[in-house]
Chains A and B, each alone.
Chain A
Amino acid sequence: MLEVSPEIEKKINDILNKYIEGEGNVISLLQDAQETFGYIPENVVDWFSKKLDIPESRFFGIATFYAQFHLKPRGKNIITACCGTACHVKGSEKLISTASRELNLKGDEDTTEDGEITFEKVACLGTCSMAPVVIINKKMHGKMTTEKLAREIKSITKAKK
């Protein structure tokens, strides 16, 4: 069994109790775990698997199926670009390539090397009238342009320095 610190154990125990009381399922369990840790740590999955006698492979299968779950820690700042149809026809592709360029992300990477910024794409957010839409640290920005996005990214990286 992978090691779990007492501090983490307390947190996941709370999640487990909530799961047992509220007849939850593996998905809601993982949602709570992600809410707590920001991603799904391997040792936490291992712990749940042993406690619930549910094979670890089920957890991993679910965690990799749903886009919401992350297996690696994410950046401190999160930028999400909407890839809905309206956003697409209004130029979200350009925004995505701008962000990847500004953040120096290669291939499938979504988090900058220093772990500061994670850049993600999301299926339609349903705010098509403001297309293209980008969410920066939970704040929604409508009618985004490449310049504005580059400016926002620079202001985050500057704030860190």
Chain B
Amino acid sequence: MINLTIDGKKITVLDSTSVLDAARQNDISIPTLCHHPKLTPFGGCRLCIVEVKGIPRPVTSCTTPVSEGMEVTTTSPYLEDLRKTVLELILSDHPNDCMVCEKAGDCTLQELAYFYGINPPIPPLEKGGRGGIFAGERRVYTKRDGNPFIERAMEKCILCGRCVKVCDEVMGVGAIDFTYRGFKSKICPPYERDLDCVFCGQCVAVCPTGALTGKMWTLKGRQKEIKEVDTICPYCGVGCSITLHVRRNEVIRVSSKDDTINEGWLCVKGRFGYNFINHRDRLTRPLIRIAPKNTKEAQKIRSSEDKTISNSQPLNFSTSHVFREASWDEALDYIAEKLKTIKEKHGPDAIAGLSSARCTNEENYIFQKFMRASIGTNNIDHCARF
């Protein structure tokens, strides 16, 4: 254990804790942009600078490990002034279009600009320039990606590197990296091609500005009138915790909280695959197939289908003549009866069960128990096995 003082407060933390973590564990707040608790420290945004007694210049608290007897000051007029300069520099190279930005209200940069009272932008002065004392050239990126999931507005990027690190350290993909250098630095896929990756959207989740957002979120609503609903991802047995962002009874975005079993990480399906919820083809009630009694009847059903269903439209089961809607009770009774009949007539091994990866572990367990104990067969399998 290491003993140190932060802002006059005596605290004790574990060895090799960073000064930033030590402060945060003790409710001392230090502003950051590039730091992410689950990624390696970067030290690029320079906002978390603190003064340490004995070190002549301010150091970044995210990269500095604690040491015995350290005396840290996290706030002083001098430090706050430096932080303000850094923020002003970032905003001098930022579109400042918060009015129409997807991220407004949920943007770390916006919050910090607000707390530090950075002068509001005034209309462009010179070509590409803007107001503020450090007005000057801005990066301009007009290229838009063709990918269906992730919107990259690179002129809003502050090069904190969180997306690069999450892609490398958490996902092991490395689809993007820092490229070029100096003022021309940008984060992009190789040879500045369109993003072509697994589209997990982890980069979107960690982006502290509006540089990375979901394409399908666009103009669906920001933070106002949003109801957050915690639930479990329906896609696979891992059972990630997700949070649905609901606006006017419509899911417009999916995120995941840091303190969940999946530590806030999601895959492309969990994060972007929520369109089915309000899809018109989604089954909302059980359907029972209407089996034709003979060939003549089958032909009749088919020809009536041809009339009602044109090829351009997807098949709508509920209105189709092949299925009819039923209540849960009716459907379950029907299944039970049929299973019983088959078992009596052909024996239990005439029945096989195939379960789904989208069921939970518990559901899969119950299903195999049902097949083995109730039906009495070992014909049980799972789609994920193939």
Chains A and B touch each other in the complex, with CB atoms below 8 Å apart: yes
Q: Please, which residue of chain B has its CB at the minimum distance from the CB of A63?
A: B179
Task: Say yes or no: is A154 at the interface (Cβ < 8 Å to chain B).
Answer: no
Are A55 and B177 in contact, CB atoms less than 8 angstroms apart?
yes
Q: How far is the CB of B161 from chain A (nearest CB, A)?
A: 11
> Which chain A residue lies CB-closest to B182?
A65
Q: Does A42 reach chain B (CB closer than 8 Å)?
A: yes
A56 at the interface (CB under 8 A from B): yes
- Chain A residues lying within 8 Å of B189, measured Cβ to Cβ, are 57, 60
List of A residues within 8 angstroms of B168 by Cβ:
55
Task: Tell me how far the C-beta of B203 lies from the nearest C-beta in chain A, rounded to whole angstroms.
Answer: 12
Question: Which residues on the B side are within 8 Å of A49 (C-beta)?
Answer: 190
Compute how far the CA of A60 lies from the CA of B191 in the bound complex, rounded to whole angstroms.
6
Contacts of A64 in B (CB 8 A): 179-181
A71 — nearest CB in chain B belongs to which residue? B191
Q: How far is the CB of A89 from chain B (nearest CB, A)?
A: 24
| B176 close to A57 (CB less than 8 A) | yes
Residues 40-73 of A contacting B (Cβ, < 8 Å): 42, 45, 49, 54-61, 64-65, 71
The bracket for how many chain B residues form the interface is 10 to 19
CB within 8 Å for A55 and B180 given contacts A45-B190, A60-B191 = no
Report the bound CA distance from A60 to B181 in whole Å. 12
Which one of A45, A57, A59 has the greatest number of beta carbons of chain B within 10 Å?
A57
In the assembled complex, the Cα of A88 lies from the Cα of B168 at a distance in Å of 42
Chain A residues near B177 (CB-CB < 8 A): 55, 57-58, 60-61
The docked-state distance in angstroms from the alpha carbon of A49 to that of B181 is 22
Question: Are B175 and A55 in contact (CB-based, < 8 A)?
Answer: yes
State how many angstroms separate the Cβ of A8 from the closest Cβ of chain B: 17
CB distance from A110 to the nearest CB of B (A): 15
Residue B174 CB within 8 A of the other chain: yes
B184 closest partner in A (C-beta): A64
| Residues B179 and A60 in contact, CB atoms below 8 Å apart | yes
For A42, give the chain B residue with the smallest CB separation: B191
* Residues of chain B with a CB closer than 8 A to A60's CB: 177, 179, 189-191
- Smallest distance from the beta carbon of A30 to chain B beta carbons, Å? 13
Q: Is B198 an interface residue (CB 8 A)?
A: no
Q: Does B140 interact with chain A (Cβ within 8 Å)?
A: no
A141 to chain B, nearest CB (A): 29
What CA separation (Å) do A112 and B297 show in the bound complex? 78
Which one of A42, A57, A59 lies within 8 Å of B175 (CB-CB)?
A57
The distance in angstroms between the C-alpha atoms of A59 and B180, with both chains bound, is 12
Interface residues, chain B, with chain A CB atoms under 8 Å away: 168, 173-181, 189-191
Given contacts A45-B190, A65-B181, 4 further A-B contacts (CB under 8 A): A55-B168, A56-B190, A57-B175, A57-B190
Q: In the A-B complex, list the 10 residue pairs whose CB atoms are closest, starting with the nearest.
A: A55-B174, A61-B177, A56-B190, A57-B177, A60-B190, A64-B179, A64-B180, A57-B190, A61-B179, A65-B181
Q: Can you list 26 residue pairs at the A/B interface with Cβ under 8 Å?
A: A42-B191, A45-B191, A49-B190, A54-B174, A55-B173, A55-B174, A55-B175, A56-B191, A57-B174, A57-B175, A57-B176, A57-B190, A58-B174, A58-B177, A59-B190, A60-B179, A60-B189, A60-B190, A60-B191, A61-B178, A61-B179, A64-B180, A64-B181, A65-B179, A65-B180, A71-B191
